[in-house]
Chain A
């Protein structure tokens, strides 16, 4: 089984809909992250959490919210989806300090 699991893997929805992307991990890491990937822009950080009670905005948090339900679970919500939120979304985890991040396989989200 994958260490970092994202659901769903693909989602097509309409403008204005509420969307939730889920991430769960079995690595036992405290730190979890949400990124979006757009062609030519690399990965940009949306939100990150260093433990269950710690939530921080990243570079591009507008239009998104997150919930850290447990150490192993970190979900990303789009309250009212818009077409420019069409992207590939990745969840990642890491240990303490300057450790590398471990990524899920991504969720491809299309908003029509």
Chain B
């Protein structure tokens, strides 16, 4: 069965610092992987998706993620955090008919 594990339920960075949010997946077939962001009182919005075309995926708001099959990872990064990046981030894996989400990582950005 497919699943994702997000390492760290809370991550805190200073404004301007590197953002690294970790996601490892488990899938018996090549997966489709996604990162979503959730701002307060809103639904999830797609940041980026991996669909096997390229291992480095660029998304919105300066985020990118790299698919590493050998490590079964799909970590999300941003070179320089902005205050507006404070939100909850979800990694998800899709296989067959449904999508499975990780537990989420709450990102705090300090001034």
Interface residue ranges, A against B (CB under 8 Å):
4, 33, 35, 40-45, 48, 50, 56, 58, 90, 92, 98, 100-106
Contact = CB atoms under 8 A, between A and B. Distances in A.
Interface residues of B, number: 21
24 contacts: A4-B43, A35-B101, A40-B9, A42-B103, A43-B90, A43-B101, A44-B101, A45-B99, A45-B100, A56-B97, A58-B98, A90-B43, A90-B44, A98-B32, A98-B51, A100-B46, A100-B49, A101-B46, A101-B99, A103-B43, A103-B45, A104-B43, A105-B42, A106-B43
Contacts, number: 49
Interface string B12-49: 00000000000000000000101000000111111001
Contacts of A98: 32, 51, 94
